[in-house]
Chains A and B, each alone.
Chain A
């Protein structure tokens, strides 16, 4: 039986409004997916879905297109950037929430969050003018010279020491995603109830033992959510990566060499795409990127449900 309160006209209007607005969001998302999939139909028809996905050639002249190098480029850059960013982000969150005096913690938290507000083109510029020369002169060049003398076999892995390539892109990407992982972890750590900490202190725990045995396990859901947000951000990041990664359509031969990600190839080639098939292939890459993001989010949500503790449990 419907209770009378739901019958009020104001409630009905509001409910209808919410439903319509909510459906609009879903509709727009579905429309985007359809638009990308439909736009990419020529490519999928020419190479087959799996053929396009697994194809390693990206050649506008020969009209051969495959997304595999970009898929690999996206997965490697995102995974490595996340691996690099995770511990510093978590350490910063613990330091800010547990160890630093309040004013210092607030200041550091603010500065970390500010990293998320910088436009990614600024990261790209910083990468080109600061990081790339550093990587070139202090990492790649010495390695190159050393290997030329002692281990010529390594030279194929190192490639020419230009500084532009996956290494620089990954480093900048790692820096860019730190605030996402860190701020969610920080919030989760702050939400751990005082009673939980006190219970562990009362057993004779030191501060670090309380963090390790109570705070981190309790906050693991939020920490993981931050990791996923950071990963999603890394997968989709376009501008800075495009500026630094070298934009090669070949399968990357090593982390020192040039590569491209799904997002970067779209940004890089869209304006100059010649012919219907190249354009369609780019849209198809966009469609695959959307599928990848969806898959990451679904898996993350599944894991998150199992990890969450306490009030936050879904």
Chain B
């Protein structure tokens, strides 16, 4: 996946300006930067979540396997099945059980066979490192779980539809340190199967989990490179100022 000269307008203001970012397959790409720098706006442009907001306008291209996801005739529903998303706050569906939450995406494509659903639920929950904790109570309501468990439900739910790319918008910012650790450990395993783009407020987190890092400031991408290089030897002085904690 990659973007070419991507610009996102909110009304007349550009929240993201001219970003060209390559997202490497089976790697974790972290987007860092101060609040309001456009990293979340950029992330949501990757699976056309902005389509839900009529005042947003997109220019430039987002290529998925070489095809522009914004090309005329492309169905955003199909794009979102291929590019999943995990949000800042856990979003379990409160009327559904743990099991139904995880297989919600499969129900959408009309899969009904009990065995198949169970198999996918188990695989997804194992991938989200939650299986052992919930395997005996799959039919309990998902809202009864802790915040960290709920976020892993959200991840399992996103994984169940086998997306090619998983977008994560500050997935640990609402969680305690132990849950955060669990999810960070998970990311390392997940990247074997799926390409990950993660927005994070937390520079240590970006440094710990990602392979590449992009630094955003005021809607522009200032610098992009291998995480280790960007954190130890930033090319741009603004990147250096940010990662050394002089602002943000």
Q: Show the binding face of A for B, using Cβ within 8 Å.
A: 195-206, 209, 213-214, 217-218, 220, 309-310
Contact = CB atoms under 8 A, between A and B. Distances in A.
11 contacts: A195-B91, A198-B52, A198-B85, A199-B154, A201-B49, A202-B85, A204-B105, A204-B109, A209-B108, A217-B93, A310-B94
A218 B95 contact: yes
Given A195-B87, A206-B77, A201 B52 contact: yes
Nearest to B85: A202
Most buried by B among A196, A197, A199, A200: A199
A203 B89 contact: no
B108 A204 contact: yes
B7 interface: no
Main secondary structure of the interface of A (DSSP, over half): helix
Interface in B73-110: 77-78, 80-81, 84-85, 87, 89, 91, 93-96, 104-105, 107-109
Given A209-B108, A213-B104, A213-B107, A203 B91 contact: no
Given A196-B93, A202-B87, 12 more contacts: A198-B49, A198-B91, A199-B91, A199-B157, A202-B49, A202-B80, A203-B81, A204-B77, A205-B108, A209-B108, A220-B95, A310-B94
B89 to A, nearest CB: 6
Given A203-B81, A203-B108, A203-B157, A196 B49 contact: no
Contact of B158 (A201, A202, A209, A310): A202
A204 B80 contact: yes
B23 interface: no
Contacts of A209: 108
Nearest to B78: A204
A198 B108 contact: no
Nearest to B141: A309
Interface string B56-86: 0000000000000000000001101100110
Given A195-B89, A198-B87, A203 B105 contact: yes
Most buried by A among B47, B77, B87, B107: B77
B158 A203 contact: yes
Most buried by A among B78, B80, B94, B109: B94
Interface of B: 47, 49, 52, 77-78, 80-81, 84-85, 87, 89, 91, 93-96, 104-105, 107-109, 154, 157-158, 161
Contacts of B81: 203-204
Contacts of A220: 95
A101 to B, nearest CB: 9
A182 to B, nearest CB: 22
B105 A196 contact: no
A201 B95 contact: no
A68 B40 CA distance: 65
Nearest to A216: B95
Given A204-B80, A309-B95, A199 B52 contact: no
Contact of A309 (B78, B80, B85, B94): B94
A198 to B, nearest CB: 7
B93 A203 contact: no
B83 to A, nearest CB: 9
B87 A199 contact: yes
B44 to A, nearest CB: 9
A292 B239 CA distance: 71
A218 B94 contact: yes
A292 B77 CA distance: 49
B144 to A, nearest CB: 13
B196 to A, nearest CB: 15
